């Protein structure tokens, strides 16, 4: 374990309203977030602050806001970082020798950045072929090449572009990375990734925040309901209003 907790050290009224109103920021202000497991998963509906929180942890850990390691240096978007990273304090037990931020929405930009690195820096893992793969293949290749034991790895919706089988592969990979001494903090909508054994799950909702077991997450409940009667669910959802 590297990061043990996060808390808000800036008064809410000093933050932009769109940030201060996020459920995760409300939690950070009220009691903070403790990381008690090598794998922490943050889930919940869109707009509850999952990605904003992961980004703040990444920037606070001196990682590139658009993805990559501490050594990645590129910027393709202006004003892409929320001010939350400057308002929180991360409590660390120790600093990792290596860390990496994998962000689903800007992964293409990260792959493009690696393609510009010619020649590959000494003692670095070659990453300049990612754009010659599909999105899902390149994402899994990045994890296999760059994620290892005893590192800090932050993932924001890594399921984007991954097939069901690839998500299952990622589940196993992340579990074994944690067993090897890594810490993983991930935001996801995927009920598959939520099932990683021994992970602590923080669910964000518009009305509040709660630590929940996998079986009580909204994502699992929705997936279970659909799987129990997929045709009936599809018929109900596509029925025209009377």
Domains and CATH numbers, the chain: 3-238 (3.40.50.300)
Q: Which of 169-173, 188-192, 202-206 has the lowest average pLDDT? A: 202-206
Residue 15 pLDDT class (50, 70, 90 cuts): very high
C-alpha angle with apex 153: 45 to 92, nearest 5 degrees? Answer: 100
* pTM for this prediction: 0.91
Residue 108: pLDDT band (50, 70, 90) is confident
Residue 242 has pLDDT above 60, yes or no: no
Which residue, 238, 196, 202, is CA-closest to 42? 202
């Amino acid at each position: 374990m590297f990061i043990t907790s996060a808390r808000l050290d800036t008064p809410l009224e000093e933050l932009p309203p769109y940030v201060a109103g996020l459920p995760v920021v409300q939690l950070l202000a009220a009691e903070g977030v403790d990381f008690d497991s090598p794998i922490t998963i943050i889930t919940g509906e869109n707009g509850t602050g999952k990605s904003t929180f992961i980004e703040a942890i990444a920037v606070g850990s001196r990682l590139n806001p658009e993805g990559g390691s501490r050594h990645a240096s590129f910027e393709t978007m202006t004003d892409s970082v929320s001010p939350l990273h400057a308002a929180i304090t991360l409590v660390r037990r120790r600093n990792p020798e290596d860390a990496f931020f994998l962000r689903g929405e800007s992964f293409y930009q990260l792959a493009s950045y690696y393609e510009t690195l010619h020649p590959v820096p000494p003692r670095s893992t070659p990453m300049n072929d990612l754009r010659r793969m599909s999105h899902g293949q390149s994402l899994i290749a990045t994890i296999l090449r760059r994620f290892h034991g005893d590192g800090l790895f932050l993932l924001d919706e890594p399921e984007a572009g991954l097939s069901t089988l690839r998500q299952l592969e990622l589940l196993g990979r992340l579990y074994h990375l944690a067993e090897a001494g890594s810490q993983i903090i991930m935001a996801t909508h995927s009920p598959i990734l939520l099932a990683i054994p021994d992970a602590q799950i923080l669910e964000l909702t518009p009305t509040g925040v709660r630590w929940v077991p996998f079986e009580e997450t909204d994502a699992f409940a929705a997936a279970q309901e659909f799987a129990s009667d997929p045709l009936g669910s599809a018929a109900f959802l596509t029925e025209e209003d009377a």
